[in-house]
Amino acid sequence: MNGPEIHLSVAPELHLFVAAARRGGPTPLTTDGASTLGHVVESLGIPLTEAGRLLVDGREVPVSHVPGAGERVEVHAARRPQEVPGAPLRFLLDVHLGTLARRLRLLGVDAAYFSEDVGDPALAAYSARDRRVLLSRDRGLLRRRELWAGAYVYSDRPKEQLDDVLTRFAPALAPWTRCVACNGDLADATKESVRGFLEDGTERSYDVFAQCTACERVYWNGAHHSSLQTIVDDALRTYGGGARPQQQAS
Ligand SMILES: [Zn+2]
């Protein structure tokens, strides 16, 4: 290319997306003189979902800005917590994030997830139609134009993934209000009303407290699964939210 040269610096949080040579201080970059800054950022490997403020000579500019010769460009990471205006905060997770989906649901966060790979176009279309933030570790998926909103998940470990999403979007937490299996809402239930769904030992030992309004899965009070309760306790301690008594999924 033979266009204007700019000086570009990339926030440390975004270094994983760019070539090693771009990870230090400002580096020169020759643009084509016509491309927007958004395009330049994407061409470096940074999904636009991950770019926060874009500064040119210290002033914030939109992604549509066309960089000119000599400009000092700073690419910052998405702000935390990040606002997602225009719809209630809810998520859609790609096929690789099933554990994260169940943990978000456990905390009462609306997290749609398909255990089968429905394909990138279908996921992106669902994000747009249902106004859900698509969570993925697939940079190509996050570049799809039709997405309502998206976010890269920075770790491949479920615990860190959960922390990542909770710090980034600060969703309201309401543990034990959503079905971990299907994302449906739980409704109060009595042992009598769900007797047909219970095995004998369960019926004798536990008090039913809720049933999924979508898939009819039954949830009960009782000997709780300590690893789930630990996830809930850790999240409430760190991120707040309405505490509920200890409960156990069936
Ligand atoms: Zn359910």
Question: pLDDT tens for residues 11-66?
Answer: 999 999 999 999 988 999 999 999 999 999 999 999 999 999 999 999 999 999 99
| 240 CA from centroid of ligand 1 (Å) | 25
Sign of the CA dihedral with 96 first, then 98, 100, and 105 last: positive
| 177 CA from centroid of ligand 1 (Å) | 11
| 166 CA from centroid of ligand 1 (Å) | 23
- pLDDT of amino acid 167: 96
Strand partners, 73: 8, 56
| 217 CA from centroid of ligand 1 (Å) | 5
pLDDT of 1 strictly over 70: no
Indicate the pLDDT class of residue 137, thresholds 50, 70 and 90: very high
pLDDT of 223 strictly over 60: no
d(CA 159, CA 146): 29
| 45 CA from centroid of ligand 1 (Å) | 38
| 185 CA from centroid of ligand 1 (Å) | 7
Neighbours of 134 (CB within 10 A): 26
CATH class for the region spanning 5-77:
alpha beta
DSSP of 143-208: T-TT-SEEEE---SSHHHHHHHHHHHH-PPP-TTSB-TTT-PBEEE--TTTTGGGS-HHHHHH-EE
| 94 CA from centroid of ligand 1 (Å) | 19
pLDDT of 245 strictly over 60: no
What does DSSP say about strands 59-61 and 51-56: parallel, antiparallel, or unpaired?
antiparallel
What does DSSP say about strands 91-93 and 111-113: parallel, antiparallel, or unpaired?
parallel
| 218 CA from centroid of ligand 1 (Å) | 9
- pLDDT of amino acid 244: 42
Among 128-132, 145-149, 158-162, 239-243, the minimum mean pLDDT is found in 239-243
pTM of the shown model: 0.90
More confident position, 87 or 250: 87
What does DSSP say about strands 27-30 and 5-10: parallel, antiparallel, or unpaired?
antiparallel
Q: Where in the chain is the domain with CATH 3.10.20.30?
A: 5-77
- pLDDT of amino acid 175: 93
Average pLDDT, the chain: 91
